[in-house]
Amino acid sequence: MIVKQAANVLDLLEYFSLKQRIASLAEISHDMGWPRSSTFNLISTLVKRGFLYEPKPRGGFYPTARWLALATEIASANPLPEQARNLIEDLAQLTGETVWIAAPNGQQAVLLAVIQSTHPIRYTADAGKQVPIHLTASGQATMSQMSNQNIAAILKKATFTSYGDGTPMSVQAVEKNITDSLKRGWFSSASAYSRDLGGVSVPLVIDGSIYAVTVAGPLFRVEDQMPDTARMVHDAIARHFGSDYMRSQLPDLHRLGS
């Protein structure tokens, strides 16, 4: 269920991030397709709370720095360990591709931290993006560290829509992917959720919390390199978490030697 008022606030914030300029009440109402009265009430509330202001009288509205201040405070208390952030920075430099840390979020996997590739053609993703947990390498990597009961609960609610040639289309296909990937030592996707894009993912368990680190890019550049990329991920995890990390934290995952 989506709470409309909350969704409207988030939509308005995204609207300004794209516009990057002052917008009048009439312009916002028109562009967003909202009734003028509802737009007025929303803007008035955000102005009173200090999240919007009028740079010039009757000149339109723009977000204040309060959004940034709150976001900075929230990010500073982010439970994502520093080792994990250092890990994706390392992998981004080594691979040149987009790298992220994801965590399970119900039927989704949510990207917690992302470093974008600098290639003109790249996998584009932002922190906060959510992808189906059962259809993606990131999601399946996190599922592999869950109990059988939790995996069964996720798959019971799962829906199967084909997004590309690599989309798993049944519970059995997802279960086989997880089993085979653990034996291989890494998870992969190729046109599974994003057509012509793919990547390599390896699970992480830090202080009991489940994550996945993923390196992704366009298939024409990454598909043939997946085994080498997986080895780079394993080696980077060993550098940042210790050489015995895989053995102690991920005993079911096949370890790849340098």
What pLDDT shows up at residue 207? 87
pTM to 2 decimal places: 0.76
In this structure, are 142 and 159 located in the same domain? Answer: yes
C-alpha span between 196 and 119 (Å, rounded): 16
What was the pLDDT predicted at 76? 63
How many residues make up the chain in this entry?
A: 258
40 & 111 share domain: no
In terms of Cα–Cα distance, which of 226, 176, 179, 183 is closest to 201?
Answer: 226
Query: pLDDT tens-digit profile of 136-182?
Result: 999 999 999 999 999 999 999 999 999 999 999 999 999 999 999 99
Q: Is residue 18 part of a domain?
A: yes
Q: Calculate the CA dihedral of residues 142, 138, 92, 233 and round it to 10 degrees.
A: 60
CATH of the domain at 20: 1.10.10.10
Q: What six digits make up the tokens of 182?
A: 């653990």
* Mean pLDDT calculated for residue range 242-258: 86
| Average pLDDT across the chain, whole number | 92
Report if residue 187 sits inside a domain. Answer: yes
Q: Which of 73, 94, 125 is the last residue of a domain?
A: 73
Taking residues 9-35, report their average pLDDT. 94
Specify whether 116 is located in the same domain as 237. yes
Please say whether the beta carbons of 205 and 145 come within 8 A.
Answer: yes
Does residue 237 have a pLDDT over 70? yes
> Which among 57, 244, 119 has a CA at the least distance from the CA of 255?
244
Q: Please report which confidence band the pLDDT of residue 68 belongs to, taking 50, 70 and 90 as the band edges.
A: confident
For residues 169-184, one letter each, b for 16 or more C-beta atoms within 10 angstroms of the residue's C-beta and e for the rest, the string is eebeebbebbeebbee
DSSP string, 215-245: EEEEHHHHGGGHHHHHHHHHHHHHHHH-TTH
Do residue 121 and residue 167 come from a single domain? Answer: yes
Confidence of residue 230 (pLDDT cuts 50, 70, 90): very high
CA angle 55, 60, 128 (to 5 degrees): 90
Domain holding 173, by residue range, is 80-249
Token pair, residue 133, equals 């947990």
> Does residue 52 share a domain with residue 84?
no
Over range 55-73, report the average pLDDT. Answer: 85
Distance between CA atoms of residues 117 and 151, nearest Å: 32
Alpha helices, DSSP H, located in 185-225: 219-222
Q: What would the pLDDT profile of 69-96 be if each residue is shown by its tens digit?
A: 888 777 666 678 888 999 999 999 999 9
Give, in order, the Cα–Cα distances in Å from 133 to each of 140, 192, 250: 6, 12, 19
